[in-house]
Structure 1
Amino acid sequence: MTIQNKRTLASILFVLISFVCMHAQSGNEPPVPLPPGPPPPGAPIDGGVLFLACAALIYGAKKMIKK
C-alpha cells in the first residue's frame, strides 16, 4: 500500500468518523432526567489522615535536627 493510498484511506475514515460523531449529537429531544438516588457513602477520613500528618511532622523534624 503506497503512502498516497494510506493518506486517502485515513482521510475517508476521518470524514466518516466526523459525520458519525456529528450525527450522534444532533438529537432534538432533551435528555431524560434521572431520578435522585441515595447519596453516595462517605469515606471515613479521620484517624488515618491524622496519623499520617503526625508521622510526616515527626519525620520532618527528625530530618531538620540531623541537618
Structure 2
Amino acid sequence: MKKQTLFIYLAMFVSILMPLVALAQVEGTDPDAPIDGGLSLLVMAGAGYGIKKLKEKRVKQEK
C-alpha cells in the first residue's frame, strides 16, 4: 500500500512539472523548429505495426 501511494505521489509530481519543462524555451533560439524527421518516423512505425497486425490476423483466420 505504501509503495502504491508513493507511486501516485510521484506521478502527480511529474504531471505537474512536465508542462513547465515542455514549454520552456531558451532565449535566442528559433521557435519554428521542423517536426518532419520525428513525425515521419512515427508514421512509418505505425504503418509497420499495422501491417504486422494484419498479417497476424490473416494467419489466425487461415488456421
Larger radius of gyration: 1
TM value normalised by structure 1: 0.39
- With normalisation by structure 2, the TM-score equals 0.41
Q: Which has the higher helix share?
A: 2
